[in-house]
Structure 1
């Protein structure tokens, strides 16, 4: 299970990452990689706060977040949940390598149902490397 701050939950975040992010496919997964928009500025309080809040913390980007899309084309509910659990576990081990503000959507293709855990890991690593590299095709 991914920690709560690392979960991508809202439909608009999924849509923004898929539409505006970079896409890379390897084997049985497609990775959409994008960045969160900067947080809106916090209005200044006319009286300074006595807490230890720093202005930099208000503008800090959120931690990297990930979401998963596993359609019915992958298989029945049991197969979809198995694929989703495997992908979640694989991403959990790799999410700390992503920069703050990164958003990642991992979409499983129907071939993911037949892939082993290590094969899914290799596909995910290849797709992530391609999506996070600086070059475009």
Structure 2
């Protein structure tokens, strides 16, 4: 599980990121990113949206666990960023490597679009 300071927990933060953030889509995920103006040098925060269209509770929880594990690997990619990952219905049916590649490429794209400052060496 991600630490509390690296999670988006408030509905208004989800809404602000989805509505005003940069957006990019892949086959099984859609990523939104927004640079936070209130804390530009703080930790990145991640939020996940996994609807019932993805599958039953077992499949939804599997997808959420996978996406949390991926987010833990990507926390150092930029600074002061809110990222929301929305799973599409096919996300439960793909293997870990394919989902990881889609999230990775989507994150790279949304970081470019949002104008986030990247950490040195990335």
- TM-score bin, normalised by smaller chain: 0.7 to 0.9
Find the counterpart in structure 2 of residue 48 from structure 1. none
Q: Give the number of the structure whose alpha-carbon radius of gyration is greater.
A: 1
Who is 1:90 aligned against? 70
Contact 1:38–1:61, Cα closer than 8 Å, also in 2: no
- Give 2:97's aligned residue: 118
How many residues matched?
A: 114
Q: Which residue of 2 aligns with 1:9?
A: 9
Give the C-alpha shift of residue 134 in structure 1.
Answer: 4.4
Normalising by the residue count of structure 1, what TM-score does the alignment of the two structures yield? 0.79
1:65 Cα offset (Å) = 0.3
**Contact 1:64 / 1:95 at 8 angstroms: preserved in 2?**
yes
Aligned 1:18-57 pairs, distance under 5 A? 18-38=18-38
> Is residue 82 of structure 2 the alignment partner of residue 103 of structure 1?
yes
Deviation at 1:111, TM superposition (A): 0.8
Alignment partners' CA distance in 2, 1:10 and 1:128: 21
TM-score by length of 2: 0.88
Consecutive unaligned residues of structure 2, counting only runs of 5 or more, are: 115-122
**RMSD of Structure 2 on Structure 1 (CA):** 1.5
